[in-house]
Structure 1
Amino acid sequence: MGHALTLDPSQIARLVERSIPVEICPTSNMKTMHLTALEAHPTLPTWIAAAYPFSINTDDSTVFETTSSRELRLVAEAFYLPPETLVALCLGGLKHAFETDTQKLRQLHKRFSSESEQAIVEYREAIAC
């Protein structure tokens, strides 16, 4: 479900009941909702706390002048998410991608997992200094 910003409790319950993944577009949501901080997002804290399946996206990277990496960084900084949680979010996004080629999805998952592991090691080494 795209954005899922203005859901009432019964609608959220239906999403949860059906495990319908949600896409969140932080910069787009902040600009269109005139939020001064991502922490004020109407649903993102709920999805994070519930470990609900959601993905972080750009919406329209040209219009909102952002990238996937920037969106992930914004969420990580706003909600103090460790790298492992970001990796899990990205892998969850792959799991719910609109891709029917299972071989392609497996390859993407394997490559992302491998590169993410290395990035986490490098991150841990950098902050240890």
Structure 2
Amino acid sequence: MEADVLKSLQFEMGNPIVKIFLRRFTGIAQEEYKSPNLQLEFLGYYLSELSILDYSRVKFLHSLVASSVLFLSRFTLQLNAHSWSAALQRYLEYKASDLKECVFILHDLQLSRHRLESCLSRMILVII
């Protein structure tokens, strides 16, 4: 069946997207916990969706964006003293310094969305 699908697509398929990398990377990051951390997973998906909204993020590889999302999620949730471990660096092949520019862009997006949500909340309270 897979061969039929590939033939019908004429073997033209897209590249892996951020979400694909993030799913794999989150699994690697959660190996150090006794049970899966759903907050880490959901925050990561939220940040990856935010990354789609910003054009300046386009210049980065999807794997680097996913790594940056994971870094920022761990930092936001303060899961460890360090947001990037030696194990993550070994598996994902990115140093924390490689992620710096992308993490800053994502963090700015995260803060802007937070401010927008709080403004909307205040507006709704005024209306009610």
Q: TM-score, normalised by structure 1?
A: 0.30
Which structure has more relative contact order (CA 8 Å, sep 6+)? It is 2
